[in-house]
Amino acid sequence: MTLIIDCHGHYTTAPPAHDAWRQEQKAAFKAGAPVPAYPALSDDEIRDTLEANQIRLLKERGADMTIFSPRASAMAPHIGDESVALQWARVNNDLIARCAALYPDIFAPVCMLPQSPAADMQGSIAELQRCVDMGFIGCNLNPDPGGGHFKSPPLTDRFWYPFYEKMVALDVPAMIHVSGSCNPGLHATGAYYIAADTIAFMQLIEGDLFKDFPTLRFIIPHGGGAVPYHWGRYRGLADMLKKPDLAGHVMNNVFFDTCVYHQPGINLLADVIANKNILFGSEMVGAVRGIDPTTGHYFDDTKRYVDALNITPDAKHMIFEGNARRVFPRLDAQLKARGQ
């Protein structure tokens, strides 16, 4: 019996009071006024937003649980300063902790980080520790906290090393995930996300990061951006850059989810990327919420596409469960503790 683990879900349906506080927080920062108190949210309010959305869809689609993090497009680390980012990260992560406490069998918590364009990673290191102490199993790392102009150092730069040391010490992976775009030329979910995924992978090819951190693990979401489609280009570029074969150079450490919203894309992913590197994910409720008129099913019901793959049951088991348990050892430990 396979546990169907969706590795990529965000709390895109948080109670309105949560988002209202964010507006007050931004206004207070602008006015130089004290930060308002975070509102009291009842368990029932939280339950309602989850039952009506993520949990309903999870059940309808036949999945069991979601690796769950704050809404990615609302992380917006380019807003305010580091103290604004830290307040926002804490209230979001605390809210995710409540979701996981209310439904421990359904939501495995992953944190956002208090990144800020001018900040180093010290605040993120502290917040990661705080969240792991609350039972979190991973984090979302934003490679471009500036919000759409790609001014941060590459992921292979030593700027990030103190944070990687902490990830390795805590044995948690990071999903590489940008946030909302403040660039009018970059639509968040249609351009910025996919571009950032692709850029991240190429940075990893150019560097030798995993020589320094052999156990560091990244999930590149949205099916790895453009990477599987251009797999020949990336193999060829690694060769031109005198790097080892991608299998040894990056693919012991990099994983792609299945947030690719049509069957031919998932077929390609499963065809060119090793089975051990693919984690089931849907990004539900997320970027694309409609029904595909060519199939009659939700675009983001990616379980259907994986179910339809012409691969062995064992290979499907790895995509749905086995790989997630390997990439997120703290999830595996929690599941084992529950007898799963």
Q: Would you name the residues annotated as active-site residues? A: 283
Binding to its own copies, residues 184-223 (CB under 8 A): 184-187, 189-192, 194-196, 198-199, 202-203, 205-206, 222-223
DSSP 211-239: HH-TT--EEE-GGGTTTTTTHHHHHHHHH
- Residue 267 CB, nearest approach to its own copies (Å): 8
Residue 285 preceded by cis peptide, ω within 30:
yes
Examine residue 152 and tell whether it contacts its own copies (CB under 8 A).
Answer: yes
Binding to its own copies, residues 10-49 (CB under 8 A): none
Spell out, one character per residue from 256 to 295, where the chain touches its own copies: x when CB under 8 A holds, - when not: ----xxx-xx-xx--xx--------------xxxx-x---
CA distances from 5 to 94, 106, 218, 282, 318 (A): 22, 9, 17, 10, 10
- Residue 179 CB, nearest approach to its own copies (Å): 16
Element (H, E) at 157: none
Task: Report the candidate in 288, 140, 281 with the shortest Cα–Cα distance to residue 223.
Answer: 281
- N-terminal to C-terminal alpha carbon distance within the chain: 10
Examine residue 235 and tell whether it contacts its own copies (CB under 8 A).
Answer: yes
Task: Report the candidate in 183, 218, 188, 182 with the shortest Cα–Cα distance to residue 203.
Answer: 218
Examine residue 307 and tell whether it contacts its own copies (CB under 8 A).
Answer: no
- Residue 327 CB, nearest approach to its own copies (Å): 22
Examine residue 3 and tell whether it contacts its own copies (CB under 8 A).
Answer: no
DSSP 4-17: -EEEEEEETT--HH
- Residue 29 CB, nearest approach to its own copies (Å): 25
CB neighbourhood size of 91 (10 A):
19
Binding to its own copies, residues 72-111 (CB under 8 A): none
Examine residue 174 and tell whether it contacts its own copies (CB under 8 A).
Answer: no
- Residue 51 CB, nearest approach to its own copies (Å): 24
Q: Which two tokens stand for residue 71?
A: 């809404």
Examine residue 339 and tell whether it contacts its own copies (CB under 8 A).
Answer: no
Q: Which two tokens stand for residue 126?
A: 């502290």
Among residues 119 and 288, whose Cβ is nearest to its own copies? 288
Examine residue 225 and tell whether it contacts its own copies (CB under 8 A).
Answer: yes
Integer Cα distance of 285 and 275 in angstroms = 25
The one among 149, 243, 276, 317 contacting its own copies by CB under 8 A: 149
Integer Cα distance of 36 and 40 in angstroms = 12
Q: Which stretch binds its own copies (CB under 8 A): 41-49, 104-112, 121-129, 255-263?
A: 255-263
Q: Which stretch binds its own copies (CB under 8 A): 79-87, 95-103, 177-185, 250-258?
A: 177-185
CB neighbourhood size of 195 (10 A):
18
Binding site for its own copies (CB under 8 A): 148-154, 183-187, 189-192, 194-196, 198-199, 202-203, 205-206, 222-223, 225-226, 228-237, 239-240, 260-262, 264-265, 267-268, 271-272, 287-290, 292, 299-300
